[in-house]
Structures are given as structure tokens and as C-alpha cells.
Amino acid sequence: MDPRGKVALVTGGASGLGGATVRALVEHGAKVVIADKAKVPGEALAKELAGSALFVETDVTDEAQMKAAVDRARSAFGGLHAAIGCAGIGTAGRVVSKGGLFPLDLFQLTVNVNLVGMFNMMRLAAGAMAENEPDPGGERGVIVTTASIAAFDGQIGQVAYSASKAGVVGMTLPVARELARFGIRVVTIAPGTFDTPMLANLPEEHRQALAANIPFPNRLGRPSEFAALAVHIVENAMLNGETIRLDGALRMPPK
């Protein structure tokens, strides 16, 4: 699908991987709805991309708010052709530690945001895309979700995060198979260690230690590299039902 003249929605689009994806889609000629809880950076990015993007304050776990973001894409820009899910949270903690057991409510929150919130985006976006007229290749839309290599190489202390991201991976193929009859593709990106706001608060020595484990390139991933893959997925019609690791050959150790 050629992004030019198409309409995209990016959850978690105010910054980090999502913000880079918003910019890349606009550079490729798309109109973009930035759906995020972070109002100040979301509105600032929309202002920067004036005319090509707009911001909708959105909690992906809230059905009404997510639906409102999808509806806004259709009312403001005339449709919805691509949806990229970048909204998520990172949590850490051991199942059993000196401080006690991993809090059940924190596990539930992590799964609710990272997995249930992703599914909420997928189903609402798919419903809108199914109403599109197919392009000459029969395509109506593309959905890109974000997992993590923690879905495969989960470390000690990542139980909730790994479980939530493994769930995203697990949705990819069955949803792609189901939506194939509408001409809607579904692909997941599983990034490794990227230089995002989530890592920005770490001491520099910790950031360097994370980068040191990446075989090549021996550095943290750049959000622009995630965005480039997201755009390519939109463009490449044969990418469907797959999870793509984007990690510089990193395989995370147990801890």
C-alpha cells in the first residue's frame, strides 16, 4: 500500500517509536492521527506537522476513547488505511522477592495496556478498514503492532512485560488469517533495545551496558529505524501474519 494520500493512526504516537513513526508516515505523504495519553507532546507534534497530523487524547484501554480516535481519522481525513500500535508500558519485578510477591494489580495493568489495549486498537481499526474500497491489489488496510524481543527472551523481572508482549505476538497470525478476507494485513514488530524516552532516564553507564550486548550494530536502536520498518510493512503487500525481530541480532541473557 502506497502511504501517499492514505490515512494512518498511531497509538503512543506522541514520542519515542510512535513519534518517529508519525513523522515517517507524514514524510511518505500520509495524513496521521496521533493517539496518545500524553497531551502536551502530542499536541506539539501535531502542531509541528500542521495540516498532516492531528492529536486525539486516547487511552488505548478505553473502548470509547479508542473508537473516538478511529472516528476522528475518518471524519477529519476521510478514512483509515493503516494503524500502528506503539502504546505500551514497561514494568519490572520478580515473582518472589525479599519485598514479597509480584503485585497482581501491576501484572493486570501491564497486560491490560500492552495486550488488551493493542487488541482494542486492532479490532476498531479493522472494523473501519473493512469498509474501505479495495485498492487494485485488493488491499483495504494494514495493522502493525509492537511486541518486544522480551516475548521470546524474557529476562528475570520481566514476567508481566514478557507475557503481555508474547500475547501480542500470539495475536498476529490468527488475526491476519481472519482479516485476509477483507484484504487487511497484520504484522508485528518485536524491537530490541531502542533509544526511547523509556531509557532516557537511565544513567549513561547503564545505557552503554545495554548497547554493549547488541552484536551489530553495537548501539541502541534508533526510533527512526523502527519507523522505517513500519513504513516498509505498510508498503510491502507480501508482509502478513509475521513477527519481525528488529534487534541487531541481540538475544537477551537471563538477567
- Angstrom distance (rounded) from CA 134 to CA 153: 38
- Angstrom distance (rounded) from CA 156 to CA 87: 23
Exactly one of 161, 182, 194, 226 is catalytic; name it. 161
- Angstrom distance (rounded) from CA 30 to CA 49: 11
| Cell numbers given for 157 | 523481572
Chain center to CA of 68: 19
User: What are all long-range contacts of 131-139, with beta carbons under 8 Å and residues at least 24 apart?
Assistant: 132/79, 132/80, 132/81, 134/183, 135/1, 137/183, 137/237, 138/183, 139/1, 139/183, 139/184, 139/185, 139/237
**Residue labelled with grid coordinates 507534534:** 45
Instruction: Note whether 9 and 32 are within 8 A (CB).
Output: yes
Based on the residue annotation, tell me whether 161 is a catalytic residue of this protein: yes
- Angstrom distance (rounded) from CA 24 to CA 83: 14
Q: How many residues does the chain have?
A: 255
- Angstrom distance (rounded) from CA 187 to CA 174: 11
- Angstrom distance (rounded) from CA 177 to CA 34: 27
Q: Which residues are catalytic?
A: 161
